[in-house]
């Protein structure tokens, strides 16, 4: 089978490796299929160029398009329109990832796709391309959705892959790794070559705004993980890894265990020599855990603070407290690890006061490395928050969200008691305050550096000019 996988342009100058597409490519290659990549995300090809590309190449059997949420929805529609127009339209146009998984009928009707792979895709994807190749019936294929006339057929999801080690490493060789490695992570050194990796799948948290493709939290073995990291280091000279798992630091014990394993791997005897960043929950950021992980090469932990109101956190159903957030960022500062601070507003229970609490937190704790802002909450289709929005009359359906929503700074739902007009005004004013405080801190940091260079350092060398006050 000849397969073309498309990375849709997410209209950003930041090039993060499309790991989901790379995993799908890997399992197809392992099964003996031919795979090519049309990398719009990296090269910013015009949407219509896919039609020309298809017509100028031998016909592909399958074209797969990953739609990662609302940002790429409109681009995906346009790309699919030109795929469908091509004289060499493939036998099957397949969509995957979190957007189509939540509402396959809507995406199929909007894009003209033949199938949606929903949930954890690797097993379902292989089953689908085997059925296409061998002209088997699709009605019993797990993890597949399609239209039978005007009726949606959505088969049950495929069983989750256990162990996770069974999934082959991403198909790196199909991608220009240098283009991704040169995109710097905010906590990496300027000489680092940066990349992404996964240690786990799923998350045991149950946040009301988070759409997860699967509920089970599963870990890879350290043997598998470190083999992958050694390959990335030796083959592509990768020196910094962002672990894009939803949550490596799921608890203190797990964080210490991971840190000790990374520390051992990074020793002179092993010689891996990789620094890294990850995601975690605030209760796990104890001083002990952070010390171990810093010694193991961790530079940053990205934290879902979400809110400084316990009522709102309880409504989100996240297992943490405002005190946990304060403890986490203060421990990060004490140990010397950068803390990524993520706060959202507009959820059930949010008020102007909870917005001020979030802004106060960022003003006090945000460092001078990366500016943070407060984002409005997004009710992704398939999430509990989305269904709450439907019940409350804030949304009509998927179209009401996808066709209005453009980015994470524009929202379609306001779960507060504040008017929509005041909502945006308050959010604007809060973020202006956060941004102003950030730049003041940054300016002071820069001037402190100049003061040292022009005064303290020169005096250390014996300079006796007038004192600088």
Is residue 455's pLDDT more than 60? yes
Query: What is the pLDDT, as a whole number, of residue 342?
Result: 92
With cut-offs at 50, 70 and 90, classify the pLDDT of residue 423: very high
Question: What percent of the chain is helix, strand and coil (3-state, nearest 5)?
Answer: 45, 15, 40
With cut-offs at 50, 70 and 90, classify the pLDDT of residue 392: very high
Query: What is the pLDDT, as a whole number, of residue 122?
Result: 92
**What is the maximum span of the chain, computed from C-alpha positions, in angstroms?**
87
Q: Any idea what the Cα angle at residue 135 is, between residues 132 and 141, rounded to 5°?
A: 65
Q: Out of 70-74, 284-288, 406-410, give the one with best mean pLDDT.
A: 284-288
Give me the phi and psi of 108, to 5 degrees please: -65, -45
Is residue 81's pLDDT more than 90? yes
pLDDT digits (tens, 9 = 90+) for 327-384: 999 999 999 999 999 999 999 999 999 999 999 999 999 877 777 889 999 888 889 9
- Average pLDDT score over the chain: 90
Nearest C-alpha neighbor of 381 from the set 200, 128, 116, 158 = 116
Q: Are 157 and 166 in contact (CB under 8 A)?
A: no
Query: What is the pLDDT, as a whole number, of residue 449?
Result: 81
pLDDT digits (tens, 9 = 90+) for 23-32: 999 999 999 9
Cα 333 from Cα 327, distance rounded (Å): 10
With cut-offs at 50, 70 and 90, classify the pLDDT of residue 8: very high
Is residue 409's pLDDT more than 80? no
CA-based R_g, the chain, Å? 24
With cut-offs at 50, 70 and 90, classify the pLDDT of residue 69: low
Cα 447 from Cα 451, distance rounded (Å): 6
Cα 443 from Cα 449, distance rounded (Å): 10
Domains and CATH numbers, the chain: 2-154 (3.40.50.280), 184-441 (3.80.30.20)
Nearest C-alpha neighbor of 98 from the set 128, 124, 137, 68 = 68
pLDDT digits (tens, 9 = 90+) for 36-59: 999 998 999 999 999 999 999 999
**335 cis-preceded (ω within 30 degrees of 0):** no
Query: What is the pLDDT, as a whole number, of residue 10?
Result: 80
pLDDT digits (tens, 9 = 90+) for 165-182: 999 999 999 999 999 998
Q: CB count, 10 Å around CB of 202?
A: 19
Q: Are 53 and 18 in contact (CB under 8 A)?
A: no
pTM of the model: 0.91
Burial per residue of 411-433, b for 16 or more beta-carbon CB atoms within 10 angstroms, e otherwise: bbbbbbebeeeebbebbeebbeb
Query: What is the pLDDT, as a whole number, of residue 238?
Result: 97
Percent of all residues in the chain with a pLDDT value above 70, rounded to a whole number: 93
Query: What is the pLDDT, as a whole number, of residue 120?
Result: 87
With cut-offs at 50, 70 and 90, classify the pLDDT of residue 107: very high
């Amino acid at each position: 089978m000849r397969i073309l996988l498309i990375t849709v342009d997410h209209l950003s100058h930041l090039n993060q490796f499309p790991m989901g597409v790379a995993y799908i490519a890997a399992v197809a290659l392992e099964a003996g299929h031919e795979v090519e990549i049309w990398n719009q995300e990296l090269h910013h090809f015009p949407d219509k160029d896919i039609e020309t590309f298809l017509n100028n190449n031998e016909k592909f059997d399958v074209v797969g398009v990953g739609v990662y949420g609302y940002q790429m929805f409109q681009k995906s529609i346009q790309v699919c329109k030109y795929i469908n127009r091509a004289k060499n339209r493939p036998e099957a146009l397949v969509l995957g990832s979190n957007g189509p998984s939540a509402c396959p009928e809507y995406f199929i009707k909007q894009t003209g796709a033949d199938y949606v792979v929903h949930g954890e895709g690797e097993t379902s994807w292989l089953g689908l391309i085997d059925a296409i190749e061998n002209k088997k019936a699709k009605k019993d294929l797990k993890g597949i959705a399609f239209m039978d006339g005007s009726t949606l057929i959505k088969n049950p999801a495929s069983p989750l892959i256990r162990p996770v080690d069974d999934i082959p490493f991403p198909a790196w060789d199909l991608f220009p790794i240098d283009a991704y490695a040169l995109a710097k992570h905010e906590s990496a050194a300027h000489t680092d070559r940066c990349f992404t990796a996964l240690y786990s799948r799923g998350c045991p948290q149950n946040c009301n705004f988070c759409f997860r493709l699967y509920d089970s939290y599963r870990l890879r073995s350290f043997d598998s993980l470190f083999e992958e990291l050694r390959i990335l280091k030796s083959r592509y000279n990768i020196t910094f890894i962002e672990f894009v798992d939803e949550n490596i630091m799921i608890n203190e014990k797990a964080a210490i265990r991971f840190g000790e394993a990374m520390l051992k791997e990074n020793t002179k005897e092993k010689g891996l020599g990789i620094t890294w960043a990850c995601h975690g929950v605030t209760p796990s950021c104890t001083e002990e855990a952070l010390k171990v992980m810093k010694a193991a090469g961790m530079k940053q932990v990205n934290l879902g603070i979400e809110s400084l109101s316990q009522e709102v956190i309880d409504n989100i159903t996240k297992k943490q407290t405002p005190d946990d957030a304060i403890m986490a960022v203060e421990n990060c500062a004490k140990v010397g690890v950068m803390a990524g601070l993520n706060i959202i507003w507009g959820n059930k229970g949010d008020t102007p006061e909870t917005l001020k609490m979030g802004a106060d937190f960022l003003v006090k704790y945000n460092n001078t490395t990366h500016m943070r802002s407060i984002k409005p909450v997004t009710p992704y289709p398939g999430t509990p928050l989305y269904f709450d929005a439907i019940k409350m009359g804030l949304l009509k359906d998927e179209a009401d969200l996808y066709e209005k929503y453009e980015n994470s700074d524009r929202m379609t739902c306001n779960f507060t008691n504040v008017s929509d007009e005041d909502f945006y005004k308050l959010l604007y004013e809060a973020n202006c305050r956060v941004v102003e405080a950030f730049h003041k801190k940054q300016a002071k940091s820069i001037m402190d550096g100049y003061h040292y260079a022009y005064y303290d350092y020169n005096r250390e060398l014996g300079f006796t000019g007038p004192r600088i006050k």
